[in-house]
Structure 1
Amino acid sequence: MQIITKFHKDRLGLAIGKILSGTLLAAASTGAFAQGSPVAEEELVEEIVVTGSYARSLERAVDIKRDSIGFSDAIVATDIADFPEQNLAEALQRMPGVTIERNKGLGTKVNVRSLPSEFTHTTINGLATASGSGGRDVEFDIFASEIIQTVTVKKSPTAADEEGGIAGTVEIDTARPFDYDERQLVVSTEGAYNSISEETDPQYSFLASDTFGDWGALVSFSSSERTNRTDSNSGVDFRPSSRWLEKTGSSEWQAEQTEAVLERDAGIAIDDRFDTDQTNRVVFMNKVGDRAYLNSQEKWGATAALQYQPSDELSLTFDAMLGSYDNTEDEYDAAAYSASSISALEEIHEYDDTTLSRYGVTVLTDASYAATQHEFLSKEHVYETDYTQYSLDMEWTPGDWLIDGLVGYSGAEKLIDSSNLKHVAYAPSRTRYTNTGGETIPSDSPDTIDMYNSPDSYLFESYEVNLEDIQDDKYAAQLDVIKPLQLDFMPSLAQVQFGMRYTDKSKERNRGTNTVTGPTADDSSWAGERTLADSELTPVSQLVPGGRYLSESSNAPRWSQVSNGYARDTFRYDGFDVAFADDQYYRVDEEVLSLYAMADFEFELGQVPVDLNVGVRNVDTSVLSFGYHQVQNEDGSTGYTSSPVSKKGSYKELLPSFNLTAGLADNLQFRAAASETMMRPALTDIAYKRTVSVNEFKYYDGNPDLEPTYAEQWEMGLEWYPENGGLLAASYFEKTIEGVVRESLTGVVEDVTKYNANGTVDGVYDFDIYQKINGEGDYDVSGLELIAQYPLGALYAALDGFGINANYTMLDNSLTGESDLDIPTPPEGLADKTYNFTVFYENDIFDARVSYNYKDKYVERIERDMYPVYRDAYGQVDMSLGYRITDNIKMTLEGINVTDEETTGYTVHPDFPTMYEFSGRRMALGVRATF
């Protein structure tokens, strides 16, 4: 891809860099201007031609970093387009300090410096983007990386930034026509093969751009498909023995039997069956599941830009970005729930009271149970996401002023259709840990079954369909004004900048459920009568393409179950529909007005030139939440009554920022930064609603009074820019984070009647009320970040063409007490160390790259608010080979996860695995042509 980049410095000493097929016009609204000595009246224009070279794209990324006033890193179009990735998230993982969260082999969300994804703020063409997720984090898997041209990750904000982000801000830019000096037409296509599904998926994209005098127009488009299979022995989790020990009335036999077995087989004497601090420390395996997933995706994305640029003093640009992401996931699950409501312990074969003894926790690692709930689940999840973004940007330089205005809209709509066909068999079973998770086998009881091959024992329970519609909209308007200064009484003051930003954000959710129990809406004859054997069964190895389940394991189970296609055709009877329920509705409206002012200084300390940016931002936020409360019917009947509720909330904050750059030598730069930043709570947590989880004996309330999570942070570092275009950098940073949003017990509803699925009374219980709150106190995160980007030919002539691009981030954090059992845990999503290492070679005809990305273990969730569940450390090797057939045509061969790594996890300690997941390799062969 031939790309022309213009780097323009005007007489005001401001740098507005048109970097590769994207621009830094957004820098005018963020204050990220290169600070330097004023230049002469005439313009200085430097043209740099990047011809599909990975090394040159790295050089341009270094230029962006060097010219920024704060800490930042960038990735440009050649790197995004040419490195193997399945979406934008995976393209970003090679940037310093950036890692991703993976779901079934696919990168989905971005972590900056290993902090949780919700701590990262994301913009596209200067606008905060919507993606239809429930939180503030962006689901990057919906974006096609082929239509993105430049991405900058800012790690130290200025006062002009919209949020700043506790972890950082990801700024995405698409292409504009005046980024090129001539007509451009680029076409590419590829086919990608997955080693497990054995399917080949197509992808194609194009970009066309031209200018016509003062006008320019550009369009780009990308479309791709993905069929990926994942085999997973997963779903293993802890369940406290209080599950049965608290039983009373007609179910008290479960408590008495469990208490007796604990003392007989493990020597554990329970002093008080209702003392949860004691009973929650004796745990067993709640569930073991074998699952096969088939994930099918269709994705397209398009951008358009219309630009009017009659002179160097005025530029008007209309940007549009549209796309669609349709994702269908079939899940076939054979599961065993030891903790069924009618079960109890029968025999303990093995237990572990040493591994977690520091927390007083005993784990029953191998036990038989009286009535395990065996389930065959055929689940289908259909996600349809449409996103749009429009913006109009004006950049005007009347005289010695610079005025930048932007208005825009960002929206996403997501429709989710989820179904679950459930067949159940109750029978004695034995469940135990294995090296990779767990397994359920027949017990010694004469009533036990082979859970995988007893279709006549499984009764149809229900076919449940949930329909959910999410609308996420955001309108924004901003104005930035910059005035260079040359004051005799303060010669160091180079410029001042001030502005405002108004945003109006709304998230609305509708949801409904319809549960099928018979051939018509009024007929429930299937429940308890129809068996699994009455449906058409298909071996799981045929339900998903690619052959045997866990084909590399000779001990992997084999089973047959109902296909989702058959379930949809059979159980969605004529006239079937799903109506949205009032009690599932919520909406959150949020308005934000931000005012800021900042100043840039240029001066010398001795012989050291210094550029300083200081500023302050005032943020005023108001929130209005609508929702429903669910309470049990007062007449004692089965079900819950809903009543609408609404509530207002608000908060104000003053956020300062400081960024400094000092040129210690021609190629040696010192940076320092300090700021206070914030991240707003997820809109789903603000929504004023109450929902109930009858199986967990809990109510969940929204909290409109939630305030943002705040961080006070500082960083300093050294950057060396060798003459050969490389970069060696090191920085140290600290963050003090307070007001972290966490779930907390805030009340109790007494004497709630819990009903079984058949309408009979299960019992009367006290239901806990849980609500998201801002946690008290704070925790500290400190870290070291190292970057090495170097052409090895500078060291030894024989290595000309070779180079490395590596980065390493190490974190240290104070522990938080999110576990109700006081098991110390780091914040969810935070990994202690991450690193990326790429070695590459290129010449005029051939290029090759191999990359290794590593992310340390991190807490994925706190199970039942007690037991931290970790995602294990993960490393993945990707590669790319390119051969230029002609000056205009290039062929590529790319590989993702070429060493076929698995994803694993565990609860508290690796001795208690929770997941073992394979998603396979992905190999892609492609060709790109430039005209």
Structure 2
Amino acid sequence: MSRSITFKRRLLPICISAVAFSGITSSTIAQEENYEEVIVTGIRGALTRAIDVKRDAGSVVDAISAEDIGKLPDATIADSLQRVTGIQIRRSAGEGSTVNVRGMPQVNTLLNGEQFLSAGSITTLQPNFTDIPAELLSRVDVIKSSEASTLSGGVAGTIDLRTQRPLDLAEGWTFVGAGELSDGSYTDDNGTKLSGFAGYHSDDFGALLSVSTSSATLANFRYGMYNDWWFRGYQEDGNWPGWSTPTDVTGDGDTNDAIFGTIDYGVTNRTSERDRTGISATVQYRVNDKVEVLGDVFYTSMDQYEHTNGLVADNAWAQYDWVYPQNPVNRGPSADGNTDKDFYTASVFDLHALRVTAKAESFVDKRESTNINLQTNIDFTDSFRASVRYIHGSAENKHTGNFADAFITTGEQHGLQTRVDNVTETVNPNGEGPDRIVIRGDMSGTHPSFTYPEGFGDSIEKYGLVSSFSHQNRDEESKLDVLRFDGILDLNDNNSLEFGYRYGKREVTRYQYDYVAPFTRRGMDDEQITVYSKWKDSGLPVNGDPGAGVFGDTIARTIPFTELDAMGWITEVSDFGPAPSDGRSFYFIDPKAMDDALGFHNTLYPGNVAIKDPGRSYELDDKTHTLYAQANFEGEFGVPYQANFGVQYIRTFLDVTTNVPGVEPIVEVDGVEYPTLSGTPPQDLGDSTVERSFTDFLPRFNIGFDTSENTKLRLAYTKTMTQLDANDLGLGLVYTVNNNADLGVFQAVSASQDGNPYMEPWRAENYDATFEWYFAESSMASIGLYRLDVATSITTTGTTTAAVPDSDGVIRDEDGEIGLTIRDNTDGGVVQGIELGYQQAFDFLPGAFSGLGTTLNYTWADGEGGDKDFYGATMPMGDNSEHQFNAILWYEMDGWQARVAMNYRSERYIGRAWNDGHPAAWWSAPTTYVDASVSYDITDGITVFLQGTNITEEYEETYMQWQDVVVNQNVFEARYNLGVRARF
């Protein structure tokens, strides 16, 4: 597949040669009523303004400030946030998507000081930041030490997204427009972005409109172990299907070992297409010198299409004698688990694959949110002022997932056959076989590689669509209504009293469903049977008696790729990104043909209906009453100080309605009940509603001492809690079903309940101490210590539940129970750390060197969790990196601005994988991302710019316990943006 790279070659050297990257400012915010934002363009101006605000504030807050209207310093909000001390981010297709503050994801996100809804993460308080165009925001505040007047919701911190206010603009009209072209180092399609801003300010009236629209295709390749969490410790002693007799696979002279592996391995060509639109509009009017009214509308929408073509080898999810290590390493017995078996790993191995599939997957998300704020500010007297706000939000996310597994192998390797009128043959008779396919896997290089036999999959006639399904589709909706009153009473000597009341109501509805289709076939007694099935699988019989070896006809038919090619659905792919490749191509169903999940399945198997999955559907009503009072005072206690002390009272009422899933799989269509095959969602037997309430008292205290003319010491104590993720409350019971090829049935082997309506929220007591030194106008250094005593947290625990019948109606578990994992409360722990920051403009240097400046910061974050690794050592809190470092160099002079930024994040603990009795710690390896930008002001109002993100093409790799035991990689591309901005 050929690609033009001219654009990339021009961009890369310019980006690498750019001298700087910053735009991140460490600042705190004063009360909004007392703060008038001054629009300053340029890096140095933004830094200076931020330092002034930080120095005068009374709480611990960092911020990102836009250098100009609609111009945050990075491509996305989360990418900018990663530059702030104590902030760690996660990426989606290379773009920053979610944020941790001080090692914890329990972060509240506000819009102009209040709650809002984000369509990409309807159930949580933290949005998916890929939804929100950065051009709509003027700054982002990271509140680490909350005041009593700060809306509660973040255990570790609160992020406040701020939009522009029209009365802060210059008098008259202001127009800003920008256009960009973007390109990636692995993808072919150029992206576009257009943004515009129009603002009007005349005396006491102002209005503005900001619009952003963009389209981009992002590389998101994946290599290695394909499905997360399906890791295994394959036993040599014959206790696994396939190894029916003990086998010395490791070559150490015994059969008392376990070999680390997984269900499937592969390489994928995966891209994410994202079309974003964002609109922010504000009207602001000072009726007189006592009354001001304003209204905000904040709208976002994103259509996302994630397309995957993957060459994946697996063990048919049934047989386990398929991983043969070539360089086995004995890790010894695990400390917690199977202590009588040695655990072996290997970076080079042979896979004796029972099947190889040409996978095609399409995930489509269409999400939209609207948030409206109506506000009135009134000065009742010279000493008493108040505001009244009404917030309304609505959001929806419609998600579909569509899957097609085409066999390149025959199916004979694991005995999968089709039966029509009692005549049987392999499901893909023209495929590769009949023996297992031996594939060399090598995880020791820069990227995992898998070497197939010569000529494998080289002809389209070898491919056949054997299985397709669409499941875990969901419609999510949420509504938010807030009414709040806030008052400030000025007392003597710059002291004041704040107080307020807030009523909030949030509704969340989640409806999850699978598409199932009818099949009428001959049963094992030669009668015609109509069944509904989620898995349209040509090897799945309508009924059968495994013990007697008698089965009815299979349901779907294998569809040759030659037939699908005539429909225009087949594509040939040779580009799997930077993974080692010999240039061979393979055939796949084009995932774009699968974007319409219902239409795709009705074309192949008419009559599909959406069947509700009761265990994954729920309704939640969340009502809160909040009262707060806060005293602000200044004085002198040896040195001048400013302080605030207050308390927040929150009364929460929860109504959680879940569904009771049945055991017997029956589908009702047009009033007629039909039997179903395994995998189809169970019946919904009715609703179960839990009503409960709880109360929180949250004292908060902040004080800052002016220890000298240029130094400040801050101390803070805050008690925090976070609103629960609706999924943690509402998700119900689901069963994990495996194919037992020996018995010819699908068997329920375990269960999970990912929600629990009786859980308590996260709660913590936070302590902060920071020291700041302002040694020049645009320069400062700081050190901060923090400690979070987490009293209540949430974890996944293990227990048992009653066994359910297998697909043939037989309960085979001898003790009548299967394993159950459930979400529940547990004791928290201590999260503590150090934050170091340094920022300086080198304007004291001579000549051209005076345009240089830098920002450096380092965060050490330590938090102990409850998991144990392979050797019994205690693991840190999940998703936290112990070390993070940012280095930013910037330059600004004579119309030139340039920035280079490096972000380092140390290894991140993901979780403990059980590996069939050999628990090991799963880690994400350290990452270093480098971004750069350069711009030039052609005139006072016109600027051309070039920006590169991830210019070193960093990728994210995970490993199991030992760094040489690679699990998988997510490979992101370098992205380059070339554009022009105009202001007038």
User: Fold match, TM over 0.5?
Assistant: yes
Shift of 1:526: 7.1
Q: Give the match for residue 273 of structure 2.
A: 296
Q: Give the match for residue 340 of structure 1.
A: 317
Q: Give the match for residue 558 of structure 2.
A: 530
Q: Which moved more, 1:701-710 or 1:864-873?
A: 864-873
Q: Give the match for residue 781 of structure 1.
A: 831
Among 470, 481, 484, the alignment partner of 2:490 is: 484
Q: Which moved more, 1:85-94 or 1:591-600?
A: 85-94
Q: Give the match for residue 507 of structure 1.
A: 508
Q: Partners in 1 of 2:939 and 2:232 — Cα distance?
A: 69
CA 1:848–1:684: 2 relative to 1, 3 Å: same
Among 327, 343, 361, the alignment partner of 1:362 is: 343
Shift of 1:442: 6.4
Shift of 1:858: 0.7
Q: Give the match for residue 664 of structure 2.
A: 633
Q: Partners in 2 of 1:549 and 1:762 — Cα distance?
A: 44
The RMSD of aligned alpha carbons is 3.6
2:287 corresponds to 1:313? no
Alignment of structure 1 residues 216-231 onto 2, 5 Å: 216-231=206-221
- Confirm or deny: 8 A CA contact 1:467 1:578 kept in the other structure: no
Alignment of structure 1 residues 828-843 onto 2, 5 Å: 828-843=878-893
Among 473, 476, 490, the alignment partner of 1:470 is: 476
Q: Partners in 2 of 1:496 and 1:876 — Cα distance?
A: 45
Q: Give the match for residue 111 of structure 2.
A: 124
CA 1:162–1:661: 2 relative to 1, 3 Å: same
Q: Partners in 2 of 1:143 and 1:836 — Cα distance?
A: 24
CA 1:473–1:895: 2 relative to 1, 3 Å: same
Q: Give the match for residue 700 of structure 1.
A: 752
Q: Partners in 2 of 1:367 and 1:338 — Cα distance?
A: 14
Question: 1:650-673, CA deviations, whole angstroms, 9 ceiling, x for partnerless residues?
Answer: 221111111010111122111111
Shift of 1:430: 5.1
Q: Give the match for residue 352 of structure 1.
A: 329
Q: Partners in 2 of 1:912 and 1:455 — Cα distance?
A: 37
- Confirm or deny: 8 A CA contact 2:176 2:198 kept in the other structure: yes
CA 1:149–1:455: 2 relative to 1, 3 Å: farther
- Confirm or deny: 8 A CA contact 1:306 1:317 kept in the other structure: yes
Q: Partners in 1 of 2:945 and 2:602 — Cα distance?
A: 46
Question: 1:334-358, CA deviations, whole angstroms, 9 ceiling, x for partnerless residues?
Answer: 2122372144358554432238866
Among 323, 344, 358, the alignment partner of 1:376 is: 358
2:939 corresponds to 1:881? no
Q: Partners in 2 of 1:379 and 1:614 — Cα distance?
A: 54
Q: Partners in 2 of 1:326 and 1:241 — Cα distance?
A: 36
Q: Give the match for residue 592 of structure 1.
A: 624
Among 380, 383, 407, the alignment partner of 1:398 is: 380
- For the residue of structure 2 that corresponds to 1:722, the secondary structure is strand
Higher relative contact order (Cα pairs below 8 Å, separated by 6+ residues): 2
Q: Partners in 2 of 1:166 and 1:59 — Cα distance?
A: 30
- Confirm or deny: 8 A CA contact 2:572 2:588 kept in the other structure: no
Alignment of structure 1 residues 813-852 onto 2, 5 Å: 813-817=863-867, 824-852=874-902
Q: Which moved more, 1:619-628 or 1:212-221?
A: 212-221
2:727 corresponds to 1:684? yes
Q: Which moved more, 1:865-874 or 1:614-623?
A: 865-874
Q: Give the match for residue 367 of structure 2.
A: 385
- Confirm or deny: 8 A CA contact 2:261 2:323 kept in the other structure: no
2:319 corresponds to 1:327? no
Shift of 1:84: 6.1
Q: Give the match for residue 736 of structure 1.
A: 789
Shift of 1:417: 1.8
Q: Give the match for residue 653 of structure 1.
A: 696
Q: Give the match for residue 640 of structure 2.
A: 609
2:798 partner amino acid: L
CA 1:197–1:263: 2 relative to 1, 3 Å: closer
Q: Give the match for residue 264 of structure 2.
A: 287
Question: 1:69-125, CA deviations, whole angstroms, 9 ceiling, x for partnerless residues?
Answer: 111111122279546644322232223322321122121112223x232x1110002
Among 187, 211, 217, the alignment partner of 2:201 is: 211
Shift of 1:614: 1.1
- For the residue of structure 2 that corresponds to 1:161, the secondary structure is coil
Among 808, 826, 834, the alignment partner of 2:858 is: 808
Q: Which moved more, 1:448-457 or 1:900-909?
A: 448-457
Q: Partners in 2 of 1:535 and 1:760 — Cα distance?
A: 37
- Confirm or deny: 8 A CA contact 1:97 1:835 kept in the other structure: no
- Confirm or deny: 8 A CA contact 1:550 1:556 kept in the other structure: no
Q: Which moved more, 1:705-714 or 1:72-81?
A: 72-81
Q: Partners in 2 of 1:785 and 1:300 — Cα distance?
A: 36
Shift of 1:415: 0.6
1:501 partner amino acid: R
Shift of 1:255: 5.7
- Confirm or deny: 8 A CA contact 1:549 1:556 kept in the other structure: no
Among 831, 839, 842, the alignment partner of 1:792 is: 842
Shift of 1:784: 0.9
CA 1:754–1:266: 2 relative to 1, 3 Å: farther
Q: Partners in 2 of 1:208 and 1:246 — Cα distance?
A: 72
Shift of 1:552: 6.4
Q: Which moved more, 1:912-921 or 1:72-81?
A: 72-81
CA 1:895–1:319: 2 relative to 1, 3 Å: same
Alignment of structure 1 residues 409-488 onto 2, 5 Å: 409-424=392-407, 425=409, 426=411, 427=413, 428=436, 429=438, 432-436=441-445, 450=456, 456=462, 460-464=466-470, 466-486=472-492
Q: Give the match for residue 769 of structure 1.
A: 820
Q: Give the match for residue 587 of structure 2.
A: 560
CA 1:558–1:588: 2 relative to 1, 3 Å: same
Alignment of structure 1 residues 219-298 onto 2, 5 Å: 219-235=209-225, 254=242, 256-257=244-245, 260-262=246-248, 265-267=251-253, 283-298=260-275
Shift of 1:589: 1.0
CA 1:346–1:298: 2 relative to 1, 3 Å: closer
- For the residue of structure 1 that corresponds to 2:213, the secondary structure is strand
- Confirm or deny: 8 A CA contact 2:488 2:499 kept in the other structure: yes
1:641 partner amino acid: Q
Q: Give the match for residue 424 of structure 2.
A: none
Among 806, 819, 838, the alignment partner of 1:754 is: 806
CA 1:204–1:371: 2 relative to 1, 3 Å: closer
2:200 partner amino acid: D
Shift of 1:726: 1.5
- For the residue of structure 2 that corresponds to 1:58, the secondary structure is helix
CA 1:84–1:77: 2 relative to 1, 3 Å: closer
Q: Which moved more, 1:789-798 or 1:206-215?
A: 789-798
Q: Give the match for residue 40 of structure 1.
A: none
Question: 1:361-391, CA deviations, whole angstroms, 9 ceiling, x for partnerless residues?
Answer: 6134366666634332210011111011001
Question: 1:376-408, CA deviations, whole angstroms, 9 ceiling, x for partnerless residues?
Answer: 221001111101100112222221112122210
CA 1:356–1:794: 2 relative to 1, 3 Å: farther
1:214 partner amino acid: D
Shift of 1:239: 5.4
Q: Give the match for residue 903 of structure 2.
A: 853
Q: Partners in 2 of 1:287 and 1:823 — Cα distance?
A: 29
Q: Partners in 1 of 2:956 and 2:487 — Cα distance?
A: 49
Q: Partners in 2 of 1:264 and 1:806 — Cα distance?
A: 49
Q: Give the match for residue 276 of structure 1.
A: none
- For the residue of structure 2 that corresponds to 1:721, the secondary structure is strand
Equivalences, count: 863
Show structure 1 runs of 5+ residues with no match. Answer: 1-18, 35-45, 271-278
- Confirm or deny: 8 A CA contact 1:479 1:499 kept in the other structure: yes
- For the residue of structure 1 that corresponds to 2:51, the secondary structure is helix
Show structure 2 runs of 5+ residues with no match. Answer: 1-23, 414-435, 522-529, 540-556, 667-674, 739-747
Q: Give the match for residue 158 of structure 2.
A: 169
Q: Partners in 2 of 1:734 and 1:579 — Cα distance?
A: 49
- For the residue of structure 1 that corresponds to 2:216, the secondary structure is strand
2:82 partner amino acid: Q
Shift of 1:522: 7.9
Q: Partners in 1 of 2:579 and 2:651 — Cα distance?
A: 57
Shift of 1:900: 1.7
Among 179, 189, 193, the alignment partner of 2:179 is: 189
